Amino acid sequence: DAKTTQPNSMESNEEEPVHLPCNHSTISGTDYIHWYRQLPSQGPEYVIHGLTSNVNNRMASLAIAEDRKSSTLILHRATLRDAAVYYCILSRLYGGATNKLIFGTGTLLAVQP
């Protein structure tokens, strides 16, 4: 399974943009890039995913490098509620139907007021 590399922790100030990097140099052509986040003692929450093109949704933006070996999750204006562990995950279909998420240790984002 392809792996991802993320910084252990990052800090941001409230109301400022945050760029969370992820390296995935062994990504294959069929791997999707997913981002989930997890608050303490809660289940992970889906943030965004993409394959080749940059993606935007109401929560964040995902910028994918042209060679797909890295990506960046962008939170446009950090709030205190965005403080969480952010996981960058590669996912592919297994058995034709079920995608398998391989979680790393993620990046702990601290947001200062």
What is the contact surface with another protein in residues (CB under 8 A)?
Answer: 32, 34, 41-46, 49, 87, 91, 93, 95, 97-106
Choice between 13 and 28, CB closer to another protein: 28
Q: Least separation, in Å, of the C-beta of 68 and another protein?
A: 15
Q: Least separation, in Å, of the C-beta of 32 and another protein?
A: 5
Is there a contact between 71 and 55 (Cβ–Cβ < 8 Å)? no
Is there a contact between 47 and 55 (Cβ–Cβ < 8 Å)? no
Choice between 14 and 45, CB closer to another protein: 45
Distance, in Å, from the CA atom of 33 to the CA atom of 99, rounded to the nearest integer, reads 12
Q: Least separation, in Å, of the C-beta of 38 and another protein?
A: 8
Position 47, amino acid: V
CB atoms within 10 A of CB 38: 16
Q: Least separation, in Å, of the C-beta of 102 and another protein?
A: 8
Is there a contact between 89 and 75 (Cβ–Cβ < 8 Å)? no
Choice between 53 and 113, CB closer to another protein: 53
